[in-house]
Structure formats: C-alpha cells, structure tokens
Structure 1
C-alpha cells in the first residue's frame, strides 16, 4: 500500500479508530445514487424506450449511453474541481451532495413523465449532470477524512453500498417492467432520501478556516486540468477501471434484451430472471466486499486484488456464450458477484493511493469516476455494434477480452503493492 502522506487529509496517528459512522454514510450514499441510476439505465430506461420506440430500441439505448458519456465526462471534472475549492460551514462536499441529490430525484420524476423520445433523452442528459455532481464530492471524502490504514475497510463500506445499489436496483426495477414510470419514481425517492441521509451521517465539519483559493493560472492548472506530473500509475488505474466497467456493461446494459431477445423469455420469466440474477450479484457482492476490505488493510495489498477481480469478471462472462439459457446468466452472476465484491472493496483505496496531488482529490477522483461513466457508455455501445453485426452471442467473449486487458493494465501499477 502507498506510504502515508501528511498532505492527504488524516494521518494514521490522528485516527486510531476506524471511522465507522463515516463508513455507514459512504455505504448509504452510493447505494442511493447508484441504485436509481442502474435501475433506470439497465432496466427501466430500456423498458420506457421500448414503449416509446420499439423498432429503434437498441440504437436509442446506445444514444442514451452516448449522452450520458458526454455530460458525465464534463461534469465529473467540473463538479469535482469546484468541490475542492468550496468553503462553507457545512464543509466542501456536503452541499454538493445534498443539493444535487434533490435535483437528481426531480430529474427522475420528470423522466418518468416524458411522452417523447426527444424529451426523454433531454431529461436523461440533465439527470446525468446533477448525478455526477453528487458522485465526485462523495467519494473524495475517503481522501479527505480517512487515514491510510483504514482505507481498505472504508472502501469496503463504499463497495457494499455499490453492491446494494448496483444489484438491489435490479430486484426493484424488475418489478416495474410493465409500469416503468412508477418504478422510476420509486427509485427517485431512494435518490432523495439516501443523498440527504448520507450527508447527515457524514457530519462534515466546517472548512471556512481553510485558505480561500484565488482563481489564477496556477489554480486552473491544479483544479481544472488533467494531472500530468507523477501520473503514470494514476492513468493505469483509470484505464483499468474503464475497461472493467466497459466489460461489465457490455452485458448489464442489455440484460433486459439478453433475456427477451437472446434467450426468448416472456415478460414474467424475464422479470423473475432479472430479479434472481440481481439477488445473486448482490449477495455475493456484499459478502466478498465485506471480506476483502479488511483483508487488504491487514496485508497492505491493493493492486493484485483489483487486477484479479477484474479478470474474474471476464471469466464469468463466458458462461452465457455456452448456451442461451437463464442458468448461464445466473452462473455469470455468481462469478461476477465474487469479482465485483472483491473489486469494490479495494478499488477506491487503490484510486486514492495513486492520486498525483491530494489537494485536488475530488477533481482527480472525478476524472477516475469519469472512467466509470465512460465504461457504462462504451459497454452498451460496443454491445450494440456486436449485436448488430454478429448477434447477441458475440457480446460475451467481447466482455471477457476487455476485462482481461483491464486486469493486466492494473498489474502494471508500480506505486502500490
């Protein structure tokens, strides 16, 4: 693990006990921003697009992903940068989290009411903007307020929240395939309540005593530009994460159509299969996230678990290639859940450890999260190309290849063991 850095917020000696309350805040937070996002993007948005434009649904899902990519890429950097220089009595992260959680919920409610594809895509773009203004400040709290020796454990809390949001959303969303508008509104309530509760539990202290930032050329370079100095490992982590998420979303982005169009299931069977798959992913993800973080703190190892879990995700993706049967997706869910659990437990700790400059943590973590967003976009786009040219069966080995390459890139990191 990286050496303790005095400029990186809290030191080991300053934090003798695990910050458990902050850990729970960072569990609830991602569960309630990621859950609504994944539930809508993976299931309810495709369902609503299928209602509005059934003949163009595959292409429109890819277009929605492209819009998400463009907006999120810009907002992640800007929101993270502005968060780094925010000075309020409530701290620099909490105001961004609370205000944009409220706006996220309002956008989802508006999305549920849209009657045209054009309006749906417009609201989806606005939602992406406010959502990513929650994400970048939230994850920066690990850099701000967690000592290096506890980062594996607190990253596990964040990872459990991700597992609940990522896979629990599928259980919720699968119940509303025929009533997508209601499902989106239910998920909007999670976004609203969870964002506010997370900020309340985190109880970020005032940072009015921190020096105010003068906006000059040096400030712009540090807070609004991509890092250049000592950034090799940072970009390897970014590339590895992007490929892992891209591979994951090759399947996740089209899981509804995999069951309906590839496996030829009816609506009732599809809803049951998505719920079963999501439950498997959530249980295995939570268990292995809870185990892997403390183990990482004890062994002081971050790189190998992240790399191996990325490769494991690709291995699991090969099962549905063998047969167009629901059991193969459940087998994928078991292997992917284990891999994603271990990955989520230590991924954020790895990202914090390779930061080029801790003083611009939210911005740089926002750029890494941009890789997360790009992967969620590239995955469905790659899947759409593969489906249209080679058929649904081709997307599974494509994910395998992408994830293996991502794992190998992570192993090239030098700064972290």
Structure 2
C-alpha cells in the first residue's frame, strides 16, 4: 500500500501555506472530486459498521438474551461502549498524530481500527450472555472509533478551507446514512444469528479499503511529530477551553445537541414497542422506514446547509437554527400517539440534524487549535462531544423515564421533553461563540 511520492515544489514568493496546501505539495495528491468521493465513502463505511449495531442490531440481540431487563441491560452496555469510545477516539487520534510509519499517519489507524472492529462485531453476533455482548461491543467501539479519529483528521489536514462546508456536509450525513444502509441490510439477513452484524461490516471493509488504497501520505519524521511521551495519552483528552473559548463552546454546543440525539437513537426501539404498543415482528420494517426517512432528511439538509455556508461564509446561524429545530422535533416525538406522529418528529429531527452536521465540522475546523501538527488530536477531542453523550444519555434516561411514571411503566414523554431542553441549551452555547461567523 506504499506509494511513490512526487512532491510539488512551492511557488516562489508564495505566502505561508495552509495545512491542506502543504500536504498537497508533499504528497502530490490533488483534493478533487475523486479524492472527496473516496474519502466520504470511506468514512461512510466506518459509520455503517458502527451505527448498525448502535441503531438496530445491538438492541435486538440484548432483547433476545435478556428480554426481562432489556432496557437496563442496553443502558449498561451502551454506556460501557460509549466510555470506551470516549477514550479511544482522542487517544488513538493522538497516536496517529505521532506516527512515523512508512505507511503514513492515518492509513494504518483507519484500516487497523476497522479490522479490529469487524472481528469484535463477529463475536457480538455470536454472544449469548450480557457480559459477552458488553465486552464485544466495547472492543468494537475502540476499533471503529480509532478509524474515525484518523479519518476525520483528513478534513482539516487535506481539504482546502473553501471546500470544507460541502465536504463537512457529506461527512455530517455519514452516521445517519450508515445507520439506514445497515438497517436495509438487516432487512435481508433477518434478526437472528451473526449475519445481521457481519453483512454491514463486510460492506464497510470494502469502502474503507478503497479509500485507504487511494490515500497518498508523506511519512513524517520523529523530528516533525515530536517524541512520543506517556503524558501524550492523557493530554490527548484535553484542549483548554479557556485558552481556546471558541473551540470550547463549539464542543459544549455539540455535546448538548448530541445528548438529545442519543436519547432518541438509543431508545427509539423501546418507544415504538413499549410506548406506542407496536408488535415486535413489525419493528425491523418500521425502524427501516424511520431510519430511511431520517437519513434522507439528514442527507438533503446537510448538503444544502454545507453548500450555503460556503456561499455566505457563515457557520453559526445554521448550527443555531438546527439546534432549535431539533428541540421542536423532540416535542413532536414526545406527543406522538402513533407511528405517523413519531415519523413526523423523525423527519423534522433529520432536517435539523442534517443542517447541524453539515456545518459543524467546518465550524470546528475554522477554530481548531494547532491544526498543522495535531489535527487528529483536535478532531478527536471534538468528537468526544458526540461520544460522551452516549455515556451520559444512558445515565440520564432512567431518571427521565421515571418522572411522572406510574408503577411498572416508563414515561417516554418526559424523556423526549428532556431531549428538547438539551437541544435548546446547545443553541445557546453556539450563539455566544466569538471569532467565527
């Protein structure tokens, strides 16, 4: 997978290079339509492998193994997996920044992470006890988040600033498109056995290999990346929000909105079955319909928002509007009395989520500290804003579900009203960011 590099000399008298310009000169690789297509599909592959269990198959397997305590068991497993993702993303991103491998900084971590995740996914599909499921899901989270940390670093490192809104839009829709693609595959594999886990993983591997095979990297020297120290593992988890307040507020805003999103995503299966009373055998089809509607909404609005943000050269207004829209969507879901009402809330949420995700990567790339040398660390820390909520939501959810609940029942209305409040707080955090439009 090594490739001969043909560095392009810098133009005489040119101004200081951006990180993307420098990488283009060192690798000789132009960031055009072909590169962007492979990049977007490669990241989509990782999301397919990760989001299919998170959105559908993990809850089904937990329900089969522990039907009496499925909600509590799922909360425990989701929380443990999210905690592993929380550490894996920035730590392995930092290790990627420090890599001097002749295969490059990003490629070994992208491909290696995906392979580890796929192996863990096989054991997840074969697991017969809750502890086995928990261990397999934790390893899968570590593997796939390692790949995501290295993949997302490509945006500030290789994509020119004037293209970031559009590329961010494609990347922003990856998680939802990945979830619906995986749900579609599960329609064909059924909801028993290992194939509902392995079919999405196989597709993911193909997409990742195509991207990695076409990614040219200039190996870095130890003098360039600095000596690796044990302390780097701990500093990988932190960027001082007081020193970089714009980055800190962007992190907080995304954390709050993603907490709202995690409350919807994690418990939607039980909302449909336990709150709306829909039969279990209908759930795969209904989940596919809702995920397809969500992905389509995310896809359309993210592309539109990303394109418009590049045109008007503004980011904040799109993110604030999207946060408010998502709050409204949670109220619609909370008051739904049937699948149609739930689906309407999902569509509104998808349009809002897409507008947010279509711009927030571009926004944080504009305020990312030390993007020249620590892009993966910075993006890894930012990605904590979407992985920490996966830990927080399972802790908050049981509390919200008990508010106003009758004995033996759970209050899903309170759960999604709480999600709306988090989204509103997220809008407030983005509104006070200074130094970026």
TM-score (norm 1): 0.91
**Does the alignment pair 1:123 with 2:133?**
no
Change (3 A) 1:142 1:6: farther
CA distances 1:229-263 after superposition (whole Å, capped 9, x unpaired): 63111111111111111101111101111111111
Correspondence list, 1:101-140, <5 A: 101-140=114-153
Question: Unpaired segments of 5 or more residues in structure 1?
Answer: none
Correspondence list, 1:22-41, <5 A: 22-41=35-54
**Does the alignment pair 1:251 with 2:264?**
yes
Aligned-residue offset at 1:183:
0.7
CA distances 1:55-98 after superposition (whole Å, capped 9, x unpaired): 11111111112212321222122101111111233321111001
Correspondent of 1:224 among 215, 236, 248: 236
Task: Quote the RMSD (CA, aligned, Å).
Answer: 2.6
Q: Distance in 1 between matches of 2:233 and 2:79?
A: 28
**Does the alignment pair 1:9 with 2:19?**
yes
**Does the alignment pair 1:395 with 2:415?**
yes
On the 8 A contact 1:106/1:188 being kept in 2, the answer is: no
On the 8 A contact 1:237/1:351 being kept in 2, the answer is: yes
On the 8 A contact 2:165/2:362 being kept in 1, the answer is: yes
Correspondent of 1:386 among 388, 395, 400: 400
Tell me the residue number matched to 2:390.
376
On the 8 A contact 1:97/1:138 being kept in 2, the answer is: yes
On the 8 A contact 2:20/2:159 being kept in 1, the answer is: yes
Q: Distance in 2 between matches of 1:295 and 1:31?
A: 22
Aligned-residue offset at 1:8:
4.9
Aligned-residue offset at 1:300:
0.7
On the 8 A contact 1:72/1:373 being kept in 2, the answer is: yes
Correspondent of 1:333 among 346, 349, 364: 346
SS of match in other structure, 2:426: helix
On the 8 A contact 1:162/1:344 being kept in 2, the answer is: no
Change (3 A) 1:201 1:135: same
Q: Distance in 2 between matches of 1:208 and 1:150?
A: 29
Question: Unpaired segments of 5 or more residues in structure 2?
Answer: 1-14, 406-410
What is the aligned residue count?
Answer: 412
Which structure has more relative contact order (CA 8 Å, sep 6+)? It is 1
Tell me the residue number matched to 2:181.
168
On the 8 A contact 1:98/1:196 being kept in 2, the answer is: yes
Correspondence list, 1:140-151, <5 A: 140-151=153-164
Change (3 A) 1:153 1:202: farther
CA distances 1:139-191 after superposition (whole Å, capped 9, x unpaired): 01011111111111211221233331133333434666632532112122133
Change (3 A) 1:415 1:400: same
From the CA coordinates, give the structure whose radius of gyration is larger. 2
Q: Distance in 1 between matches of 2:310 and 2:223?
A: 30
**Does the alignment pair 1:363 with 2:377?**
yes
- Out of 31-40 and 132-141, give the one that drifted further: 31-40
On the 8 A contact 1:44/1:177 being kept in 2, the answer is: no
Q: Distance in 1 between matches of 2:170 and 2:214?
A: 14
Change (3 A) 1:32 1:240: same
On the 8 A contact 1:246/1:375 being kept in 2, the answer is: yes
Aligned-residue offset at 1:192:
2.1
Tell me the residue number matched to 1:74.
87
Tell me the residue number matched to 1:193.
206
Q: Distance in 1 between matches of 2:205 and 2:391?
A: 24
SS of match in other structure, 2:224: coil
Q: Distance in 2 between matches of 1:193 and 1:105?
A: 12
